[in-house]
Every structure is written in structure tokens, then in C-alpha cells.
Amino acid sequence: MSDGPGRSRDATPISVALPEAVAAAKGVDVLSLPPLSTEVDLEALDDLVESSGDELRISFDIRGLRIEVAGDGSVRVE
């Protein structure tokens, strides 16, 4: 399991944090990953997190990993 560092809405956007967390969980460089945007709408996730409260939790599976994005901007990858 890999947790991205705590992120405020003013810090790293989900569209950057999510690929970084997936790369870390897979033990590869983020630049070696195929774009996640073909599987998830990263811009929509950015917008949702920016407009939501800290109670928000979104979970989904991608590339064999379980992803949780929280309203505080944190990303968890299992």
C-alpha cells in the first residue's frame, strides 16, 4: 500500500498526484507509465476534489490497483 503525502487543494493537483502514486506503487518512474488519462478523467477528478469537502472519498480500480482519492487531495494506492 502506498499513500501519497498529504496534499491540500492548493498543492499538487490530483492529475499530477495520482500518476505519481501509481508509479510509486508499481516501483517505476512516472514518465514510464502510459497516460492514465486514457482510463480516468484526471481533469474531472481535479475539479471534483477542488469543489468538494474533506468528506469526499472516491474509490476505483485501475491497472490492477485500488485507488482512493479523498477530498483533502490525498491519494491512496493499494
Into how many domains does the chain fold? 1
At 18-66, the pLDDT tens digits run 999 999 999 999 999 999 999 999 999 999 999 988 899 999 999 899 9
d(CA 41, CA 24): 20
Has this prediction a pTM greater than 0.75?
A: yes
Give me 57's grid cell: 472519498
Domain that holds residue 70: 2-77
Nearest-angstrom CA–CA distance, 72 and 50: 9
Helix (H, G, I), strand (E, B) or coil at 47: helix
Whether 69 contacts 77, CB under 8 Å: no
